Amino acid sequence: MIQFERFVLDNGLRVLVHEDPSTPMAVVNVLYDVGARDEDPNKTGFAHLFEHLMFGGSIHIPDYDEPLQRAGGENNAYTTNDLTNYYCQVPAQNLETAFWLESDRMLSLAFSEKSLDVQRKVVCEEFKEHYINKPYGDIWHKMRELAYKVHPYRWMTIGKELSHVEKAHIDDVKAFFFKHYRPVNAILVVAGNVQVEQVKQLAAKWFGPIPMGDQYVRNLPQEPVQTAARRQVVEADVPVDAFLAAWHMDARLDKGYYIADLITEVLGGGASSRLYQQLVKEQRLFASIDCYHFGTIEKGLVAVDGKLAEGVAIETAEAAVQAVLQQVKEAAISEQELQKVKNKTESVIAFEDMNVMSRANSLAFYELLGDAQLMNDELQRYQEITAADIRSYSQQLFAQTNSNVLHYLRKK
């Protein structure tokens, strides 16, 4: 059971404190309720661009990293389609340094054409290196556009097109910041060798004076239920043929999410999973194959993703995948197999909880979902899933009308 206390500043900033005197460190985690789904379809990649801009200097502090490193700290950040998370860890006695740094960039960045130009080039190079010039780099761009027709999950966090970041204007960047990176749209978690009263004083001192900002009201277009199978064939300069399929699944807090999570473990959770055992080890149709989902807050995707063995026809590989899926649709998995994947899930959750930085991260995420207490209740939701649930949901999930199939073939 992860203990924490919660309070809210007058400017709307939600603050959670998790005391852990067993560590000499303290973690300051700032989660902003903004991700790629909140971008203008014609100006995508902004949330990820900010992941870089936020380290490019704030209004009173020209360099974020240098003072943090002098205080013995380290930091990082990540952006998803749903959220943006910045976190740093410092020796507990230097906690106020982290408050100083994080509050100043929440107050305002040091916006300048020069800073934007530097970070824009960095992001554009990342786009080219990982998504344009890398083999299979655009495969999920194509799959998202195939699977989503209206929801903003149809583009990736790097952006829909390189030109959107290339043309990012300083006025658009400023507007995006003051719309989303305000106290009322943020969650601050302080964890480690800290005390609640100490955090209350520091939060009031450093974050309290920041203007609240406007509450961002999310009103995104909802993806209509898919009613027909979709397929696409792509030829590219890649070493081997690849098979990718995706099916729409339930949202993060729905029961279907937990069932889908266990299904992906049954099918793709390591070397003992069904897809690996049957299609890689026994039939030797694939060189590698995996099954996973994205765990998005709104309705997401389950995917099967594999590279074919040399000489195997893509039609043969797809038929073999469908045969494995048919097994979980037709027959309930054994109690032993179900317990195995539940045990693995429990160990993953327990392992994450061992690290104070992971605990801070999880508390912020579950608070974003609605209540940080969910972090302590989630395992029970998995334990309630039955073999009948797996079978029933597989029939719904892997229905042909819900399928999106991409054949990514080596150019001849």
**Residue among 155, 121, 122 at smallest CA distance from 39:** 155
Residue 165 CB burial class (10 angstroms; 0-12, 13-18, ≥19): buried
310 given a catalytic annotation: no
Quote the pLDDT of residue 353: 85
Q: What does the alpha-carbon distance between residue 399 and residue 365 come to, in Å, rounded to a whole number?
A: 31
Quote the pLDDT of residue 312: 97
Q: What is the 3-state secondary structure (H, E, C) of 287-331?
A: EEEEEEECCCCCCCEEEEEEEECCCCCHHHHHHHHHHHHHHHHHC
Q: What does the alpha-carbon distance between residue 29 and residue 189 come to, in Å, rounded to a whole number?
A: 5
Phi, psi at residue 364, to the nearest 5°?
-65, -45
**Contacts from 342-348 at CB under 8 Å and sequence distance 24+?**
342/262, 342/382, 342/383, 342/385, 344/265, 344/269, 345/261, 345/262, 345/265, 345/379, 345/382, 346/379, 346/382
Backbone angle region of 347, left / alpha / beta, with phi > 0 → left and psi within -120 to 50 → alpha: alpha
Number of H helices, E strands in the chain: 15, 11
Q: What is the pLDDT of residues 228-275, one digit of tens each?
A: 999 999 999 999 999 999 999 999 999 999 999 999 999 999 899 999
* Concatenated DSSP letters of 336-405: HHHHHHHHHHHHHHHHHHHSHHHHHHHHHHHHHHT-TTHHHHHHHHHHT--HHHHHHHHHHHT-GGGEEE
CA dihedral 174, 176, 178, 184 (to 10 degrees): -160
Give pLDDT < 50 ranges for the chain. Answer: none
Could you tell me where the beta strands, DSSP code E, fall in 227-283? 230-236, 242-248
Quote the pLDDT of residue 197: 98
Could you say which of 51, 102, 265, 318 is catalytic?
51
The amino acid that residue 40 corresponds to is D
Q: What does the alpha-carbon distance between residue 309 and residue 407 come to, in Å, rounded to a whole number?
A: 14
Quote the pLDDT of residue 352: 85
Model-level pTM?
0.95
Quote the pLDDT of residue 189: 98
- Tokens (6 digits) for 143: 């799959």
